[in-house]
């Protein structure tokens, strides 16, 4: 690992797939699931998109039996910015591999300029694949409609707040409003969704989900919590001890800067952690 990576190592499991898989095995030993993400985004040439595709296929094949073969990928690294056909071809080959190894692939959601295109790509893939899910971002004005549509279609959704800076024309700006929107979408997904993933570290939303599921008698087997590697570790174990499914997003790779930057932007404690280590 290069020296800078030491600062990112709280949020990134390492540079190689083996590092991430080792983290996944440690989680597995505690009854916690993982989704593995080879970091990378905004690929601008077809050979690089092909390399990202091959890396995802290799990753799926590398995850040992016993650990769920669950990965997350970004459409912008699969050629979305080059052509729809290229992106579909690349992601389809990942999904074929996932089918062969009994795996599951989640399409991460990126900035709002890619949302409609990503939803359309997902719908196209869903015509031939069951083992693919999508992410929806509670902060976007369009998301309540997307959630209703996903529930109607039986799509598997990960709900998160949204990590990208967005203008008021497309997204809520106030955290209280984002929380309210998140809760409403989460409740729709819990009521009628197909094994939704509630992805947040926000205690009000985590507790709100636990309470809502209990009040509505929704069994904990019908949904899962998701959190990011390095954030709220003790809460993962508490949720598992309480009978909940928990999956951790385990990123790895050398292209960690944009991901790392988004984590720093989100929370002051994350910046404090990096600064503390800088002066150690």
Ligand X SMILES: Cc1cc2nc3c(=O)[nH]c(=O)nc-3n(C[C@H](O)[C@H](O)[C@H](O)COP(=O)(O)OP(=O)(O)OC[C@H]3O[C@@H](n4cnc5c(N)ncnc54)[C@H](O)[C@@H]3O)c2cc1C
Site for ligand X in 5-24 (CB under 6 A): none
Window contacting ligand X (CB under 6 A); options: 17-25, 115-123, 214-222, 227-235: 227-235
227 binds ligand X (CB under 6 A): yes
CA distances from 75 to 15, 50, 141 (A): 21, 12, 21
Nearest to 236 by CA among 245, 13, 14: 245
Question: Would you state the structure tokens that stand for residue 177, as one six-digit string?
Answer: 């409003």
Window contacting ligand X (CB under 6 A); options: 59-67, 148-156, 197-205, 272-280: 197-205
Looking at 69, 106, 156, 158, which residue is catalytic? 158
Report the residue number, 51 or 232, with the smaller CB distance to ligand X. Answer: 232
What's the CA gap between 6 and 134, in Å, rounded? 31
Q: Are 79 and 91 in contact (CB under 8 A)?
A: no
Report the residue number, 49 or 134, with the smaller CB distance to ligand X. Answer: 134
Window contacting ligand X (CB under 6 A); options: 24-32, 46-54, 193-201, 272-280: 193-201
226 binds ligand X (CB under 6 A): yes
Active-site residue 263, yes or no? no
As measured in angstroms, the least distance from the Cβ of 218 to ligand X is 20
246 binds ligand X (CB under 6 A): no
Question: Would you state the structure tokens that stand for residue 251, as one six-digit string?
Answer: 């990123």
What's the CA gap between 66 and 64, in Å, rounded? 6
What's the CA gap between 28 and 184, in Å, rounded? 31
Cβ neighbours of residue 195 closer than 8 Å, sequence gap 6 or more: 156, 222, 223, 224
Active-site residue 155, yes or no? no
What's the CA gap between 50 and 28, in Å, rounded? 30
Report the residue number, 84 or 201, with the smaller CB distance to ligand X. Answer: 201
- Residue of 202, 212, 220, 222 interacting with ligand X (CB under 6 A): 202
Report the residue number, 134 or 151, with the smaller CB distance to ligand X. Answer: 134
Beta-bridged to residue 33, according to DSSP, are: 247
Looking at 37, 106, 108, 179, which residue is catalytic? 108
Catalytic residue numbers? 108, 158
């Amino acid at each position: 690992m290069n020296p800078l990576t030491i600062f990112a190592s709280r949020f990134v499991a390492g540079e190689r797939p083996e590092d991430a898989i080792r983290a996944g095995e440690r989680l597995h030993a505690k009854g916690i699931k993982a989704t593995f993400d080879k970091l990378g985004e905004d690929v601008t040439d077809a050979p690089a998109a092909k390399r990202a595709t091959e890396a995802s296929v290799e990753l799926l094949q590398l995850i040992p039996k016993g650990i769920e073969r669950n990965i997350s990928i970004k459409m912008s690294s699969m050629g979305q910015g080059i052509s729809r056909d290229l992106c579909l071809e690349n992601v389809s080959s990942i999904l074929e591999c996932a089918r062969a190894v009994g795996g599951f692939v989640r399409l991460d959601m990126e900035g709002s300029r890619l949302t409609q295109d990503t939803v359309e790509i997902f719908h196209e893939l869903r015509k031939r694949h069951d083992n693919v899910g999508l992410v929806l971002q509670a902060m976007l004005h369009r998301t309540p409609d997307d959630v209703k549509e996903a529930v109607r279609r039986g799509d598997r959704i990960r709900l998160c707040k949204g990590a990208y800076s967005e203008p008021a024309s497309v997204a809520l700006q106030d955290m209280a409003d984002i929380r309210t929107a998140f809760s409403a979408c989460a409740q729709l997904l819990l009521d009628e969704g197909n094994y939704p993933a509630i992805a947040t570290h926000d205690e009000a939303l985590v507790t709100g989900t636990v309470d809502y599921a209990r009040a509505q008698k929704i069994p904990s087997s019908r949904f899962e919590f998701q959190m990011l590697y390095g954030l709220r570790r003790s809460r993962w174990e508490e949720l598992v001890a309480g009978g909940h499914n928990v999956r951790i997003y385990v990123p790895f790779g050398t292209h960690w800067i944009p991901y790392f930057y988004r984590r720093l932007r989100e929370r002051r404690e994350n910046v404090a952690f990096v600064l503390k280590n800088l002066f150690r």
